[in-house]
Structure 1
Amino acid sequence: MTPYAELCVTSNFTFLTGASHPEELVTRAAELGLEAIAITDRNSVAGVVRAFSALKELERLQGEAREAAEAAAREAPAIRSQSLTDPSSRQRVAQVPPGAAPLLPPDQPLPRLIAGARLVLTDSALHWLALPCDIAAWARLTRLLSLGKRRAEKGACHLTRADLHAACEGMILIALPPDPLEPDAPRANPDAELREMLRRCPGRSFLGAAPVYDGRDQIRLDRLAQLSQQTGLPLVAVGDALMHRSARRPLADVLTCLREGCTIDNIGTRRLTNGERRLKSGDEMARLFHRYPAALRRTVEIADRCAFRLDELRYQYPDEAQNGEPAQDRLARLSREGLHWRYPSGPPPKIVHRVEKELRLIGEMGYASYFLTVHDIVAFARSRGILCQGRGSAANSVVCYLLGVTEVPPESITLIFERFISKERGEPPDIDVDFEHERREEVIQWIYERYGRERAGLTATVIHFRSRAAIREVGKVMGLSQDVIARLSGQIWGWSSSAPDEDRMRDAGIDPTDDRVLMTAKLIEEIIGFPRHLSQHVGGFVITHGRLDELCPIENAAMDDRTVIEWDKDDIDALGLLKVDILALGMLTCIRKAFGLLVEHRGQRWTLANVPAEDGTVYDMLCRADAIGVFQVESRAQLNFLPRMLPQCFYDLVCEVAIVRPGPIQGGMVHPFINRRQGKEPVEDLGPAMMEVLGRTYGVPLFQEQAMQIAVVAAGFTPAEADRLRRSLATFKRMGTIGAFRDRFVSGMLARGYDGAFAERCFAQIEGFGSYGFPESHAASFARLVYISAWLKKHHQAIFTCALLNSQPMGFYAPAQLVRDAREHGVEVRPVSVNHSEWDNTLERRPDGSLALRLGLRQIKGLREEDAAWIVAARANGYPDVESLWRRAGVKPATLERLAEGDGFAALGLTRRDALWAAKALQAPKPLPLFGGDGEGGIEPDVILPAMTLGQEVVEDYLSLRLSLRAHPMELLRPRLPESLPHSAFDKVPHRHRITVTGLVITRQRPGTASGVIFLTLEDETGTSNVVVWTKIYETFRKAVIAGRLLRVTGRLEREGVVTHLIAETVEDLSELLFDLGGAVPVLGPIQSNDGRADETRRPAGGSRRGSAAHHPREQAKKLFPSRDFH
């Protein structure tokens, strides 16, 4: 085989250009026996770590194959053996299904990975492949890319020749000139630029020669060889690959269409003429370059010179020493101080011992600065009154508790420090901290200010094509009509990652046997999972002691004042870089606002640490599943589980949070746990060692820490080995790493006297965690917020609801359901009023001393906070009419219309229509004081407008406020639905009796582990009903289940204790009834009046501003009564 290194490869991280994943490219290079492969994306290194990880995985697979061969003492089998003929190369190659290993003998050398970039300059027709030879050159490359990205808008990079000249030291630079056979090629005239680069980078500058495969390649190579002689740059062969196999050519054309904004029918000469822009073997390249063998040899010589490897990158923590006090000493001092303020009566000896152990290990690992970094971030937040709390595995650390990073007392849970830091693992810890979602930006900007943009950056997140986006974009490229695209995408549930199958196509009225439809479906399936662009992670920060932009390029984010590195969390984990997660949590915002309202209205001061613990009335409330708005336990699944769990203490909440999760469900742990807790089955005695681990959870493993402890006490694992088991559980579906641990686990239990079947069952339960199992420490952190929010709801419902509404968007339920729940708990809710409402929802004292909730101006759709501030500031003793508000507050007439539509003038004695009529009479953008009342508002004659029906008022309430205090839509529709049973009558229905219910869909859930089952919550005027839609019923009534806003469901009512479910048998979409809710007048169209001003013929007199009812009623119902869907 001819030695060859491919030095020019474009992955799909050159967005909408490359047609293969980095992993596919590396795997194919290994199959082809290439010496090396360079990932050279356009002005980017975003895909190189994925290629690096893929190469590491190939090394692992080869190592396992070698061990198996040695153990079997026979010839090593190939890792895979299935093969087929690749028509693009006429070779026998491996057939590699997605995620499978390639056909590689254990002794075959793997290709080296060269991390580089293809530099496209703003002042040059040449492209330059920049391949760093050492770590210093890599630092210069990433700084160069950061320079170009920081001076451009998101997604762009502006670099010049001067920038490249200044940074080229230590890099191999390969020029890719314009095609010399193109008509305008002579005008490019790159000679001078090539000679200049040769002068600046002697011995490291080359001229790349890439075939085009149009029948003229030998002429093209001759021209390039001539240019090489003229300029002195040695010629080097490059494949300029876009894909790993030629089968991706149609997808490459689709990507070109997406990039260029054209369709496949008018792509013209931009289409690839063949599938040759794929990776090729050395023998194939030797045939193409048979007249220039030196160009081929140079590829290997260059690869040998590019000695830099990504695993050379070394992360250095920021130095957090202060006033000459070393970081470790400062951490020890802060921990000692934490012992005093956390345990004013003295810390338990066990805690003191744990602190000493943790500090010793932190010192050995050199992590003190990291802990201090997180401490300082949390300290800043607290200094600004921003609520925050650490979560995740960090709650396994007593030091984190003493530093104030976490809030869960260590003695309340089982601590396994190895879950957080492992000396053997040698990886940095990962501390996640939740902050108030409305004030997290203050923390983010403080981090930038303290460390500088060159030392701190948010990690990226890769936005991939999912089903709906793939259908829309590929369908448009392939020439499908908008109607067909809409019908196809309407068949997809939420964030699905699968292409529409034949049944879905038929449901959408599309012929699945049509050739173009078949090709479109195939392309949709291929593009799903492709990266679309980079976005910013929800809060992962990388902070360094030195320059971050010498590790990875930094670019501008779409949000102002934010910068992002090119790598995502998996990339930085693969390279061992530290990340601090600065996360946003809406419930912390809600709790902080509730604490503020308690000070204001009750004179009580509370913190996360001093809310009264173990309040029996709080647990009683939760046992009744009275938990709307309560953190983590307000979903339908949790509300159904609470009456079965019957929590009585904090640890019960920890279990509650953890058990209604995919991990325990997949592991078959839910039913044994609840049956044993309820005394329906005995707790199996597993022996003293196992019961010490599982005693509190009735012999059932619920937490990741328990899986680790079982491995230690029952299977003889060391703590470090147990941690590796935990990590393999999180990746075994993707990486296939669980087999060796199974054998080790089962044999370890057998050696300690456990039964074989029992050992297998234990491992099966642990394996069920997959990547979903909760750490006990994380569940405890969340359980604390469950308790605090439940305590607020129990004792201060009005305050809690007010805080929830002022913290939107957050949580499981929309404002309409939160307001309804408050009213059902006896809270008076008062409407929006221009004379009483602030921007936020507020509380007003009633004569009996209780608090009423006044809806705020923020509830009015489309009203700006700035306009609300002017309205509040100028109202003094109140506004007598619409015009006075306009004149005094100086807001635009459009703002007055928003207020009228929200019925904000009702307290002035004006109906919605009267107020809107008055608002539309004001035509000037703002009043002009100089001219008083002349001409601005005009003289509006008195007009008697027809009164709105209750149905019309309710519709307008929902359109403007997303809720109504007047009536529920089902209350108005009930006379038209006599067969539908109200929710309040469920108590009288026998178990398994068939009934029909109708209600608004307020939530839809399709958990990933529910085997396609969908859970609906229907709301009528008397309550909410839980509906279970099994897979077959879902497939039959798919359109209604996915898109309906008013559903009529017939099924059997099943009862388990106080929990009731309706098991759906038929589902009907009655959304069109919502269109008629207002009576004879179309509620979503303008209400016309014959009365008008002299200068107009007709004008709207009603409350609606939504235009005509031209759209389908079902689509309008979606906007009128939106549901919250969870996938």
Structure 2
Amino acid sequence: MSAPYVELQVTSSFSFLRSGSQPDELMFQAKALGYDTIGLTDWNTVAGAIRAHLAAREAGLRLLPGCRLALRDGSALLAYPRNRAGWAGLCQLLTLGHHRGERDVFLLGWEDLVAAAPDLLLILLPPEDLATLPEHVQSLLDLPGQRAAEEESRFLALTLLRQPGDLARLHAIVAFCTSRGLACVATGDVLYHDARRHVLQDVVTAIREGCTVDALGHRRHVHADRHLKAPEEQARLFAAFPDAVANTRRIAEACTFSLDNLTYQYPTETERAGESAQDTLTRLVQTALPRRYPAGAPPDVETQIAHELRLIGSLSYAPYFLTVNTIVRHARSLGIVCQGRGSAANSAVCYVLGITSIDPVRSGLLFERFISAERQEPPDIDVDFESDRREEVIQWIYRHYGRHRAALCATVQRYQPKGALREVGKVLGLPEDLTGQLSKHIASSLPDPDLCKTRAADLGLNLKDRRLSLTFHLARQLLGFPRQLGTHPGGFVLTEDRLDELVPLMPTAMDGRQIIVWDKDDIDVLRFMKVDVLGLGMLGCLRRGFELLHTVYQTRMDLASIPAEDPQTYRMIQKADTLGTFQIESRAQMSMLPRMKPRTFYDLVIQVAIVRPGPIQMGWTASMRHQ
């Protein structure tokens, strides 16, 4: 049996300091309370929609992905896409609002909603001053598509404010809506999943407002029941407005869109009419073979290339390889040194195309570490470019594919122990020198309450002080909360159709760049493919070295034509004469080189792999060195 009520106004931590709960906490709590469907309406963003979608799927819930839109005239709307076209319209609205004005400013007006309105279900939130309500309602009714197939798609929210005259206020709103032919819907305006999070809610509000909790005043949410309540409890609270409760279920049934409906199409990248991407890739590989193997490709190389092309074709990854090849070719046409790295070096196709410069067949590298039919994971080719010229490549990508089809991934910058202690201590009124001491000495032990108490006692701190103990408790709750969206170093998402119909785009702090609101983990869920355009200063040094060789010795050389396994070079490496040599110049690497005595490239691969923080801390380095 369906729950009698569906919560349609839920704010998560991805509204950035407006909520005391993470999306997954809200979803699992909703399931525990008996919901079968729930909405998510973060402020001017859908950045948390994928996290909520995953949690809802795990919990066995249906998620209604929506958004709270703040308009220029002070009105606020909950916008839910009714279908795939509605999601595209919502993404474009968010993109438009974020691209206006300065960074972190969202500007949207009623006139901007006209094109998207027919496919959106809109819920107007009443203003605190009801004198402006008629104007806002009229603006809502003036939008096209007020009704579709005799079904309401415009509503006014009824929300309890826990203030004197609350019930009279709601009756007045209902009477006004009835006179205007507008339906009402009940909402809980949820800010956190559990009633015990109301203190954290005050803390994040104070951080956002830049003041202490004591100085919040009217900015504090005056009632402490903004937590998610059971459907039956909400139905009881709105018993005087049964139609408003029933409308929550009607809205949920009218909104058929799910994030599972999103289909991603990579740019086709074909060069000739009637030629498929796979045919183009095969032709380019066969054309490039003589450049890598002037004397003819060995049989094992041809076998490996045929195997790779078959697997790439079966997984429909050819357009991705063509995109990376296009970017690399353009960079080299500008004289920019670039080099593929990571598991892409295991691909003979990448080597032949010039994306990487190490022959994987000669080095005995396994292609399935890069792409495997069993794993069903999108390929990930990281390409390093000269760091001081990488921006040329980035801007060319925007021009070549168009800003409506290309954007960088976001990164979610989250609260870590040091930042959480500083921010919480500050808004709770702790002295600055004390918060600095906590950040320096306590942060590393914050996730462990017992260890945290022990270290605090060692510092002579009074744990009976309520503000100090609250600081530890609330900072621990704040760990992992998103602070803001950042920019991925170079992970591009490219599409065949409009990218802003799949996901909203935002400008970055750096002029000329834009990001999607999802990070690399989010796009992995939706199986979006990204191209990593990264910067490496050492490549600039190599280019200048090649130019010096040509000027002084009239010798032309590139990354692929450097003599392999040069004995004199390896003798220098074995003596740790590697100062200024990328990857093997650290003290740890230089101390290992005379003991490992690498003689081949693969010996260096092992050397670099084991002298890493993880293997060293786990004691593997000494064991592998002995072996």
- TM-score scaled by structure 1? 0.53
Question: Which residue of 673, 676, 681 maps to 2:624?
Answer: 673
> Structure 1 residue 627: deviation in Å?
2.7
Residues 752-798 of structure 1 show CA distances to partners (whole Å, capped at 9, x for unaligned) of xxxxxxxxxxxxxxxxxxxxxxxxxxxxxxxxxxxxxxxxxxxxxxx
Q: Does 1:395 align with 2:395?
A: no
Which residue does the alignment assign to 1:15? 16
CA–CA distance in 2 between the matches of 1:585 and 1:37?
45
Could you tell me which amino acid in structure 2 is paired with residue 421 of structure 1?
Answer: I
Q: Does 1:235 align with 2:191?
A: no
Aligned to 1:568: 519
Match for residue 136 of structure 1 among 85, 97, 113: 85
Q: Once the two structures are superposed, what CA deviation does each residue of 1:1053-1081 show, in whole Å capped at 9, x if it has no partner?
A: xxxxxxxxxxxxxxxxxxxxxxxxxxxxx
Structure 1 segment 488-637 matched on structure 2, within 5 A? 488-491=438-441, 501-506=452-457, 510-600=461-551, 603-637=554-588
Alignment of 1:653 with 2:604, yes or no, is yes
User: What SS is found at the alignment partner of 1:632?
Assistant: coil
Which position in structure 2 is the counterpart of 1:221? 170
Q: Does 1:267 align with 2:216?
A: yes
The correspondence of residues 1010-1049 of structure 1 with structure 2, limited to 5 A, is none
Conserved 8 A contact 2:446-2:472: no
* Cα displacement (A) at 1:515: 0.7
Q: Cα–Cα, structure 1 residues 328 and 566, in superposed 2: closer, same or farther, change >3 Å?
A: same
- Any idea what SS the aligned residue of 1:6 has? coil
Residues 344 and 457 (structure 1), Cα distance of their counterparts in 2 relative to 1, 3 Å cut: same
The share of aligned pairs that are identical, in percent, is: 49
The yes-or-no answer on 1:457 pairing with 2:404 is no
Q: For 1:196, which of 142, 161, 183 is the aligned residue?
A: 142
Deviation of 1:606 after TM superposition, in Å, equals 2.9
Q: What's the counterpart of residue 1098 of structure 1? A: none
Q: Using the alignment, how far apart are the partners of 2:337 and 2:50 within structure 1?
A: 36
Q: Which amino acid is 2:18 matched to?
A: T
Determine whether 1:413 maps to 2:363: yes
1:49 maps to amino acid: I
- 2:42 is paired with a residue whose SS is strand
Structure 2 match to 1:185: 130
Aligned partner of 1:640 among 570, 591, 600: 591
> Which letter does structure 1 place at the counterpart of 2:62?
R
Cα distance, 1:664 vs. partner?
A: 4.6
CA distance in 2, matches of 1:174, 1:134: 16
Match of 1:32 in 2: 33
Larger radius of gyration: 1
In the alignment, the residues of structure 2 paired with residue 496 and residue 563 of structure 1 have an alpha-carbon distance, to the nearest angstrom, of: 35
* Structure 1 position 261, deviation (Å): 1.8
Partner of 1:41: helix, strand, or coil?
Answer: coil
1 CA distance for matches of 2:549 and 2:305?
A: 36
- Separation of aligned partners in 1, 2:92 and 2:472: 42
Distance 1:536 1:575 in 2: 19
Given that residues 113 and 143 in structure 2 are in contact (C-alpha distance below 8 angstroms), is that contact kept between their aligned partners in structure 1?
Answer: no
Q: Which blocks of at least 5 consecutive residues in structure 1 are unaligned?
A: 59-109, 677-1127
- SS of 2:174's partner is helix
C-alpha change, 1:204 and 1:657, in structure 2 (3 Å) is: same
Alignment of 1:106-185 (within 5 A): 110-123=60-73, 125-179=74-128, 184-185=129-130
Structure 2 CA distance for aligned equivalents of residues 483 and 512 of structure 1: 17
Distance 2:442 2:495 in 1: 43
Sort the Cα spacing of 1:418 and 1:297 in 2 relative to 1 into closer, same or farther, 3 A: farther
2:264 pairs, out of 304, 307, 315, with 315
Contact 2:406/2:499 (CA < 8 Å) preserved in 1? yes
Match of 1:342 among 292, 297, 310: 292
1:646 CA displacement: 1.7
2:251 corresponding residue in structure 1: 302
Secondary structure (helix, strand or coil) at the match of 1:5 reads: coil
AA in 2 matched with 1:5: V
Q: Residues 413 and 208 of structure 1: is their aligned pair in 2 closer, same or farther, counting only changes over 3 Å?
A: farther
The whole-number CA distance in structure 1 between the counterparts of 2:509 and 2:446 is 25
C-alpha distance in 2 between matches for 1:220 and 1:640: 76
Mapped contact 2:3–2:34 kept (Cα < 8 A): no
* In 2, Cα distance between equivalents of 1:649 and 1:359: 29
Instruction: After TM superposition, give the deviation of residue 222 of structure 1 in Å.
Output: 1.5
**Aligned-partner SS, 2:9:** strand
Report the CA distance between 1:423 and its aligned residue: 3.5
Structure 2 CA distance for partners of 1:546 and 1:418, relative to 1, 3 Å: same
After superposition, residues 636-785 of structure 1 pair within 5 angstroms as: 636-661=587-612, 664=615, 669-676=620-627
CA contact (8 A) 1:395 1:401 kept: yes
* Structure 1 residue 597: Cα displacement: 3.9
Per the alignment, do residues 617 and 507 of structure 1 end up closer, same or farther by CA in structure 2, a change over 3 Å counting? farther
The 2-side partners of 1:239 and 1:192 are apart by 24
**CA shift for structure 1 position 327:** 2.2
> Could you give the per-residue CA deviations for residues 252-281 of structure 1, whole angstroms, max 9, x where no partner exists?
111111221211111112222343111111
For structure 2, list consecutive stretches of 5 or more residues without a partner in the other structure: none
Mapped contact 1:487–1:508 kept (Cα < 8 A) = no
Residue type at the aligned position of 1:358: E
Is the CA contact 1:197–1:205 (under 8 Å) kept in the aligned structure 2?
A: no
CA deviations over 1:908-943 (Å, ceiling 9, x no partner): xxxxxxxxxxxxxxxxxxxxxxxxxxxxxxxxxxxx
Residues 1:627 and 1:3: Cα distance change in structure 2 (over 3 Å): farther
- Cα–Cα, structure 1 residues 396 and 57, in superposed 2: closer, same or farther, change >3 Å? farther
Are 2:406 and 2:494, in contact at CA under 8 Å, matched by a contact in 1? yes
Query: 1:168–1:645: structure 2 CA closer, same or farther, 3 Å change rule?
Result: same
The number of equivalent residue pairs is 620
Report the structure, 1 or 2, having the larger helix content.
2
Q: Give the letter aligned to residue 461 of structure 1.
A: T
Please report how far the alpha carbon of residue 177 of structure 1 lies from its aligned counterpart in structure 2 after TM superposition.
Answer: 1.1
- Deviation sequence 1:939-968 (CA, Å, 0-9, x none): xxxxxxxxxxxxxxxxxxxxxxxxxxxxxx
Residue number among 391, 396, 416 corresponding to 1:441 in the alignment: 391
Classify 1:422/1:311 alpha carbon distance in 2 versus 1 (closer, same or farther; 3 Å).
farther
Partner letter of residue 594 of structure 1?
A: G
The one-letter code of the counterpart of 2:130 is A
What is the distance in 2 between the residues matched to 1:283 and 1:368? 53
